Amino acid sequence: MSMPNQPSIESEPLTTQVAIVGAGPIGLELAVALIRRGIPHQVFDAGTVGNTIAWWAPQTRWFSSNERIAIAGVPLLTVDQSKATREEYLTYLRGVATQYGIGVQTHCPVVDIAKDGGEFIVTTNPASGKTHWRADAVVLATGGTDFPRRLEIPGDDLPHVDGYLRETHRYFGRRVLIIGGRNSAIEAALRLHHAGAVVSLSYRGESLPEEGIKYWLLPEIKGLLKSGRIRDLTGTVPIEITTGSVRLESVRDQSLVDVQADEVLCLIGYEQDKTLMRNAGVELLGPMLRPSFDERTMETNVPGIYVAGTATAGTQSSKYKIFLENCHDHVDKIVASLTGKPVDSAPRRYSDQIAMEPES
């Protein structure tokens, strides 16, 4: 005889003082700052530590110098003293988390943040089931590149269309159309050309935006386009993708050209997932829907909810302004607000230089 379904009884929420949503560099740096001050906290991430960096193609290098992306005063050293690769930086982040014993719950998405008196109930939903945490403060260090920007044309959801560059070996001998004209697209075009792919590059502008391309990438891509070793399709926009080809329209005269492609990489930027901020009541401002916050404290319009890192910028356009390297002071501001004591861990002259001349 079957028993009737019993109503589930939710356990009492676990408790912490500060809930940090996001285990990227800034989330981890904040966790270390709280550890040094004896402030209880818990870090949650929907993916793994450094999840955004983890989806970079293997051996992708940072644009920023190592000292600018190092966190918590822990030096970032590489074997050849060059800028860190994806693998080196992920190893570094794991090392920092291990060294300081940071409590990180990975693959544990936060799905709701609700006010409960003077506290917050933070709901997570890992594979094992929902868990509730009670916290005095919440910090959203969730980044701003949650999913690729879509073309919104017929066929942009086909299996061979991707918003990420994958392991380059898989493209050997393949006809690859790259859509985009800034650093991600240019770097992908160069890497795939050298990996043995047959590369075409479509960009909506009549020429590449040279001011938006890193100086060490520009001469090579210009040379390869001029020589025809990478097919130059600047001044075109895609209007339809089918299995095996992409139809492009000229921005000059609206003429059409069909380009054969086994793989299509749409590298035109990324968008921030606003769901959690909206659910928590954080006001979103302007065309980029950036969160409203006090620049002195990083506290949003919801008292007790803070924002840190590139999450502060919302969905950035092609001209990024906020990077890891100019976000380190967010940690100091949040800690100062939480403790009521001033904090300044970075030399002012150095932080001013980064603000004026970012490398990313």
Both 125 and 168 in a single domain? no
For residue 33, the enclosing domain spans: 14-147+270-356
CA of 183: how far to CAs of 202, 217, 360, in Å?
A: 14, 8, 10
* 134: three-class secondary structure by DSSP: strand
Between CA 349 and CA 282 the distance in angstroms is: 33
Domain for residue 141, yes or no?
yes
Both 31 and 122 in a single domain? yes
Q: Please report which confidence band the pLDDT of residue 7 belongs to, taking 50, 70 and 90 as the band edges.
A: very low
pLDDT beyond 60 at 2:
no
Give the residues across from 18 on adjacent strands: 41, 137
Summarised one tens digit per residue, pLDDT across range 69-106 is 999 999 999 999 999 999 999 999 999 999 999 999 99
CB 183 within 8 A of CB 211: no
For the chain, give the mean pLDDT: 93
- With residues binned 3-state (H G I as helix, E B as strand, rest as coil), the percentages for the chain, rounded to 5, are 30, 25, 45
Q: Looking at 220, 247, 266, which one is the last position of a domain?
A: 266
Prediction pTM value? 0.91
Both 132 and 277 in a single domain? yes
Q: Looking at 266, 297, 322, which one is the last position of a domain?
A: 266
Q: Give residue for tokens 């890497």.
A: 191
Domain for residue 336, yes or no?
yes
Domain for residue 117, yes or no?
yes
Both 221 and 246 in a single domain? yes
Both 255 and 278 in a single domain? no
Summarised one tens digit per residue, pLDDT across range 199-239 is 999 999 999 999 889 999 999 999 999 999 999 999 999 99
- Residue 351 makes CB contacts below 8 A (sequence gap 6+) with 326, 328, 329
Residue 135 in tokens: 């916290």
Can you list the alpha helix ranges (DSSP code H) found in the chain?
25-36, 51-54, 66-69, 86-100, 183-194, 218-227, 275-280, 328-339, 348-356
Summarised one tens digit per residue, pLDDT across range 145-173 is 999 999 999 999 999 999 999 999 999 99
Q: Please report which confidence band the pLDDT of residue 15 belongs to, taking 50, 70 and 90 as the band edges.
A: very high
Is the pLDDT higher at 12 or at 173?
A: 173
List the CATH number of the domain containing 250: 3.50.50.60
Q: Looking at 266, 281, 313, which one is the last position of a domain?
A: 266
Domain for residue 5, yes or no?
no
Domain for residue 3, yes or no?
no
Q: Please report which confidence band the pLDDT of residue 10 belongs to, taking 50, 70 and 90 as the band edges.
A: low
Between CA 316 and CA 360 the distance in angstroms is: 14
Domain for residue 4, yes or no?
no
Mean pLDDT of 307-317: 93
Both 52 and 194 in a single domain? no
Domain for residue 2, yes or no?
no
Q: Which of 32-41, 106-115, 334-343 has the lowest mean pLDDT?
A: 334-343
Between CA 74 and CA 89 the distance in angstroms is: 12
Closest by alpha carbon to 102, among 197, 177, 27, 187?
Answer: 27
Report how many domains make up the chain: 2
Plot region of 247 (φ>0 → left; ψ -120 to 50 → alpha; else → beta): beta
Both 243 and 283 in a single domain? no
CA of 228: how far to CAs of 181, 220, 225, 265, in Å?
A: 17, 12, 5, 19
Domain for residue 227, yes or no?
yes
